[in-house]
Amino acid sequence: MEDRQRTDATELPVTDAPVPAELAELEDRIYAFNVERTGIRDGRLLAIMLRDDRGEPYAGLHGHTWGGCCEIKVLWVAEAHRGAGLGRRLLLAAEQEAGRRGCTRVVLTSHSFQAPGFYERLGYRRLAEIPDYPRGHRQVVLTKTLGDG
């Protein structure tokens, strides 16, 4: 009964500064649950980070592959480097690596003010739009079947 008391909503420790190790633990635990339910054990992180001579990041991408799918969580290029094809190169490199890992599909999201058109020009198609996320904008869910161009 004591455990139930510790989960009372008035006592839950909400934070806007989570400990990175605790976030990693949550990821590990949901992955273990997913493996238990599906039997699929091929999950791997995927990341590309580009840094300048001072070690400062100017572009990068991260996501993961699992069960024949690749999810891109973040693709970012510093403003000074935009428009030179770097985002395209990052995304294509991630797609190639995903293909090497046996993935046939890539899934990602982009807010309407970010770059859904960029992804569509690279062969992604819209699956869904979530209105007012954030307020006054939309979140767009996109996917691409690898090998479709």
**DSSP letters along 37-95, please?**
HH-----EEEEEEEE-TTS-EEEEEEEEEETTEEEEEEEEE-GGGTTSSHHHHHHHHHH
pLDDT in tens, 45-71: 999 999 999 999 999 999 999 999 999
pLDDT in tens, 66-103: 999 999 999 999 999 999 999 999 999 999 999 999 99
pLDDT in tens, 3-40: 555 555 678 999 999 999 999 999 999 999 999 999 99
Res. 1 pLDDT band, cuts 50 70 90: very low
**Class of the 43-145 domain?**
alpha beta
pLDDT of residue 8: 59
Q: What's the pTM value of the predicted model, to 2 decimals?
A: 0.88
Per-domain boundaries in the chain:
43-145
